[in-house]
Amino acid sequence: MIKIQSIARQFTADPVMEELFAADISARTGMEGDMHPLSAAGEISVLSKESWVKSCHETEVELPWLASGSHLFIRGFEFLPTDIGRSLRIGEMLLEILRENLPAPALASQAPVLRESLCLGWRGGVVCNSLRSGSIQTGDTVHIIG
């Protein structure tokens, strides 16, 4: 079963991500209160815990997942190129997978070897477009559709 492990947003112009227990996602604007400069309106980035742990282990770099710059941290699934066009349903919210997500540029100066590892095999997760608004929280089940 795929679950939301954690949620984050960039609340200020500072690149530090703020961890949340719950969030509202709008189909028009994305995560409420998010000021992530690399996210277009309505875009949400999703990272797999399994991919993050694998990259940290292989590179011997231990950083919190928040350093990735992603919005959602899920467990129980790893993304592949064949996932483009599939959807993630979390409660009423619906996200469509658009493309591979590249890790936050700040990670290049903090841990370049980890960033390089995350750029391999879609380990950096995916960028999704919000198709349907909804509220989410840590522990919610994620359904892969398509």
- 34-81 tens-digit pLDDT: 887 656 778 999 999 999 999 999 999 999 999 999 999 999 999 999
State the DSSP H helix or E strand holding residue 24, giving kind and residue range, or none if neither.
Answer: strand 22-26
Handedness of CA 60, 65, 15, 121 (dihedral sign): positive
pLDDT digits (tens, 9 = 90+) for 121-141: 999 999 999 999 999 999 999
pLDDT digits (tens, 9 = 90+) for 16-47: 789 999 999 998 888 998 887 656 778 999 99
Percentage of the chain beyond pLDDT 90 is 77
